[in-house]
Amino acid sequence: MRLFSVSWVMAQWCARLTAMTRALPRLTVLRTPKVRAAAISVGASLGILACKYAAYLITGSVAILSDTVESVVNVVAANVALTSLLVAVQPPDATHQYGHGKAEYISSATEGALIFIAGAWILTTAVQRLLNPVPLRSLDAGLIVLAAATVANYLTARLLMRVSRDADSIALEADARHLQADVLTSVAVFLGVALVRFTGFQRFDPLVGAVVSLHILRVGVDVSRRAIGGLMDPSLPPDELQRIRQILDAHREEIVEYHALRARKTGVARFLDLHLVLHRTLSVGQAHALCDHLEEHIRSELPGADITIHVEPCGPNCPRCSTKR
């Protein structure tokens, strides 16, 4: 009986350790800089939205309402970005052998569409308010709340942009650019409401809202275009392709030539394949060692690159090999 109890306890501990081991990759994913930044963006967007909505309730300003609507989009977009990053940082598996990097592009395209819809709605509201002006109220208190929200937005956008550059994340970059556009929106709204405060001309408010909406529409189109371009498997930037060619050219003494060089980028992952013509007098082991050396050299310039090299023998007219028959 005692032996059975000990065995049962040991089995329970083994099961718990197994569960902890399986959860470890998920915990590691949650600690990555990209995911942490996206989580901060979600929290900040909720707080900023609350501040702007309070400013709208205080003043009744359509310009502030337009800024509030964009913050609603920010909250949705931040959650989409966080979800996509949780997917994108997962390692390749049996059903997604090239990884999950394209989830970031889907997030970015969704955010671009949301930005565009928000801009169109704001423009419609501004035109209606231009035709039928509504007096504003309690502008001083509203301006103070709006200023606090704008500063918080600016700091969040700076953080996201820095992390997006370090981690090469298009989803975070789209979120950061959205917040940057929101900061500009808030500044324009602040100035418009301040003009109403000091001049009494009520149409300044919807005019500013209309101008801001046009800027938001442009940002939405730009974000969507970049995301769709990423889904089309674009080639690597010219400077990265040039670095690859320089590495291959530096080994001209060891290789005959190379051709069919193709390279693409998906999220943060880079995929490269080429045909490498080697001297036919090399053994299989020597050819393999040379390919390994080239791959290491390329990865030193482009960390994490997935490289496939197809080896071909040189032709019968190769001067070097024809003398070694």
pLDDT of res. 245: 92
The mean per-residue pLDDT over the stretch 24-44 comes to 67
The mean per-residue pLDDT over the stretch 187-211 comes to 82
**Looking at the predicted structure, is the pLDDT value of residue 18 above 50?**
no
Tell how far CA 84 is from the center of its chain: 9
Within 10 Å of residue 324's Cβ, how many Cβ atoms?
Answer: 9
With contact defined as beta carbons under 8 Å apart, do 148 and 195 qualify?
A: no
Nearest to 164 by CA among 74, 268, 79, 237: 268
Instruction: For strands 269-278 and 255-266, give the pairing.
Output: antiparallel
With contact defined as beta carbons under 8 Å apart, do 64 and 193 qualify?
A: yes
Within 10 Å of residue 202's Cβ, how many Cβ atoms?
Answer: 16
The more confidently predicted of residues 13 and 216 is 216
The mean per-residue pLDDT over the stretch 23-44 comes to 66
CA-CA distance, 173 to 107, in Å (whole number)?
11
**Looking at the predicted structure, is the pLDDT value of residue 151 above 70?**
yes
Over the Cα atoms of the chain, what is R_g?
28
DSSP 235: B
**Looking at the predicted structure, is the pLDDT value of residue 321 above 50?**
yes
In three-state secondary structure terms, 312 is strand
Instruction: Supply φ then ψ for residue 202, to 5 degrees.
Output: -70, -25
Nearest to 203 by CA among 137, 115, 135, 285: 135
The mean per-residue pLDDT over the stretch 153-160 comes to 89
The more confidently predicted of residues 103 and 312 is 312
Residue 31 pLDDT grade (very low, low, confident, very high; cuts 50, 70, 90): low
CA-CA distance, 236 to 224, in Å (whole number)?
19
Which residues neighbour 56 within 8 Å (Cβ) at sequence distance 6 or greater? Answer: 64, 65, 68, 142
* Tens digit of each residue's pLDDT (9 = 90 or more) over 250-283: 888 888 889 999 988 776 678 899 999 998 888 8
**Looking at the predicted structure, is the pLDDT value of residue 2 above 70?**
no
Exposed, middle or buried, 81 (CB in 10 Å: 0-12/13-18/19+)? buried
pTM of structure? 0.60
pLDDT of res. 261: 92
The mean per-residue pLDDT over the stretch 214-228 comes to 82
pLDDT of res. 12: 53
The more confidently predicted of residues 134 and 17 is 134
**Looking at the predicted structure, is the pLDDT value of residue 3 above 70?**
no
The percentage of the chain sitting over the pLDDT mark of 70, rounded to a whole number, equals 85
**Looking at the predicted structure, is the pLDDT value of residue 161 above 80?**
yes
pLDDT of res. 298: 92
The more confidently predicted of residues 17 and 75 is 75
**Looking at the predicted structure, is the pLDDT value of residue 143 above 70?**
yes
Nearest to 170 by CA among 274, 88, 271: 88
Residue 85 pLDDT grade (very low, low, confident, very high; cuts 50, 70, 90): low
Sign of the CA dihedral with 38 first, then 41, 45, and 47 last: positive
Residue 88 pLDDT grade (very low, low, confident, very high; cuts 50, 70, 90): low
Least confident of 84-88, 152-156, 165-169, 295-299: 84-88
Which residues neighbour 100 within 8 Å (Cβ) at sequence distance 6 or greater? Answer: 87, 88, 89, 90, 92, 267
What's the mean per-residue pLDDT of the chain?
Answer: 78
* Tens digit of each residue's pLDDT (9 = 90 or more) over 50-63: 888 888 888 888 77
Both tokens of residue 78?
């931040």
